[in-house]
Amino acid sequence: MRYTSVVIADRHPVVLQGLTKLLGAQSGFKVVACCSDGTNCIEAIRNLVPDIAVLDMSMPGLNGLEILAIVNAESLTTRLVFFTASVEHHELVISAAAGAYGVVLKDVTPEILLQSLRQVADGQRLPLLSSDRDLAREQSDIPITGDIAITEDIAITENVLAVLTERERQIMRLVSEGLSNKAIGRRLNITDGTIKVHLHNIYQKLEINNRTVLAALAISHKDRAGVTPGDQVAGLAPVQQRPEKSEAAAAELSASNPSARPVSRDD
């Protein structure tokens, strides 16, 4: 009999035990690993290649968004579902843009959780809702699948990218290609310090804290848009090599005085 393999990751033993018992009682699911931290979770995903990973947003080692970024970067096929006690709006947006299959709150009923995981097992993305009532209502309607889900995810990503300047989108694209700050600086003919200032501004605007998640956003958007390496990505500016002395000065001004935001052609 075909079953859906599941990796569970949560820092709380009671949650791991509860999910294992719940899914173990279902003939269609098989829990292949339980992890109490993010590092073991990503190793389990790499080694076992489960159909679904159910994980908390906040875990020691690696958090949920960092695991999602790694899954995207390594083109792993596991579908990630975040099972969390609470979630901020920007985390919902970022997780959707980066390719998560859904976010389910821990206060949902067992029936709703199982229904959600069955939908994900069937390739359906869950609506990004945070309440048991809304989730049940949405899941009783037409499921979000195929081209509809892809179109909505691209729209979410483009809304995220809309807050970035042209130069910031260029840097985001180069980060997704694995370039270091020095390599990006050489490509764009700007200093390493200017790159750091731009990255700091990007992290603040997107409410993320590292380049791994930033790369996941760019890679996920590029994959959904059907872009091949070297193509221009919708929402990500083409990279050009040109002197940017005025830009460097503006970035350094921003770093020294966060309240000052000089207007430039990248705005």
Q: Are 102 and 126 in contact (CB under 8 A)?
A: yes
Structure tokens at 239: 């990279």
% of the chain exceeding 70 in pLDDT = 65
Residues 116-134: tens digit of each pLDDT: 999 999 998 887 543 444 4
- Which residue, among 212, 170, 252, has the nearest Cα to 70 in the 3D structure? 212
Residues 16-49: tens digit of each pLDDT: 999 999 999 998 999 999 999 999 999 999 999 9
Q: What mean pLDDT value characterizes the chain?
A: 75
Q: How far apart are CA 83 and CA 205, in angstroms?
A: 25
Question: Bridge-partner residues for 102, per DSSP?
Answer: 81
Structure tokens at 171: 């840097």
Q: Are 115 and 81 in contact (CB under 8 A)?
A: no
Structure tokens at 232: 């221009």
Phi, psi of 11 (to 5 degrees): -75, -10
pLDDT in tens, the chain (267 residues): 689 999 999 999 999 999 999 999 998 999 999 999 999 999 999 999 999 999 998 899 998 888 988 898 888 999 999 998 876 666 666 777 677 888 888 888 899 999 999 999 999 888 754 344 444 444 444 343 334 343 444 444 555 667 888 898 889 888 878 889 999 999 999 998 999 999 988 888 877 777 777 777 776 655 444 434 444 333 444 444 444 444 544 454 445 444 444 434 344
- Which residue, among 191, 205, 189, has the nearest Cα to 261 in the 3D structure? 205
Name the H helices within 140-265.
146-161, 166-176, 181-188, 192-206, 211-224, 245-256
Give the chain's domains with CATH numbers. Answer: 4-144 (3.40.50.2300), 164-256 (1.10.10.10)
